[in-house]
Amino acid sequence: MTLLASFNHPVADAQRAFRRILKAMSEPGVMVSLPLQQGWGDLSPAATAVLLTLVDQESALWLDNRIDNEVVRSNLRFHTGVPIVDERDAPFALTHAAANPDPALFASGDNMSPEKSTTLIVEVPSLSGGLTLRLSGPGLRESRAIAPQLPEAILHYLRERPHPFPQGVDLIFTCGEAMMALPRTTDVEVC
């Protein structure tokens, strides 16, 4: 078992990270920094900080095969206690863009319980240099353009939005020490 560092000051750093994640979720397309000295294994520091902040023994996490390894599992077990499950209806899922994850395969909640959807955390190659997306909706006074490098399945999901609001999957994109979020409430136009 290889244990790696977590936050230097667990309570204060988790609170700081939570405020930044909340900012990213409430202002879609805003890039926030989640500094952490290192990620666990191949995970970026931002993805590691998101996991340290959001998952715990009360939630469940689905791991993509490209990310699932003993280093990640042992650190998740030690630092968060989160149960790792095989079902894609978990509250949280972690994947890599190279896996071309389809958000439509994860829990989208229902009209009575939209909160029972999955928050999909996706490690991407870059939060810039991809196809331009124009965002509008709650949290945005005017439209905002972003260009993260997203896999085709996510772009297709954003174009089609197979789940009617309030259903849907919340997306968190991480790269290095940065993260960006696209909650299900955001209208996305692929340019």
Stretch (H or E) spanning 72: helix 70-79
Whether residue 32 has pLDDT greater than 70: yes
Query: pLDDT, tens digit, for every residue of 157-172?
Result: 999 888 888 899 999 9
Cβ atoms of 77 and 71 closer than 8 Å: no
Q: CA geometry: angle at 155 spanning 142 and 157, to 5°?
A: 95
E strands, 52-177, where?
A: 61-63, 84-85, 92-96, 119-123, 133-136, 144-146, 170-175
pLDDT (mean) for 25-30: 95
Residue 84: C-alpha distances to residues 57, 89, 162 (Å): 10, 12, 27
Whether residue 2 has pLDDT greater than 80: no
- CB burial class (10 A; 0-12, 13-18, 19+) of residue 191? exposed
Q: pLDDT grade, residue 1 (50/70/90)?
A: low
pLDDT of 5 reads: 76
Query: Please, how many CA atoms are within 13 Å of residue 190, restricted to the half-sphere of its CB?
Result: 14
Cβ atoms of 95 and 69 closer than 8 Å: no
Distance between CA atoms of 85 and 61, rounded to whole angstroms?
Answer: 6
Whether residue 99 has pLDDT greater than 90: yes
Q: pLDDT grade, residue 121 (50/70/90)?
A: very high
Query: pLDDT, tens digit, for every residue of 42-95?
Result: 899 999 999 999 999 999 999 999 999 999 999 999 999 999 999 999 999 999
Quote the percentage of the chain above a pLDDT of 70: 99
Query: pLDDT, tens digit, for every residue of 128-152?
Result: 999 999 999 988 999 999 999 999 9
- Look up the pTM and report it: 0.94
Q: What is the overall mean pLDDT for the chain?
A: 93
* DSSP three-state, residue 37: coil
pLDDT (mean) for 18-22: 97
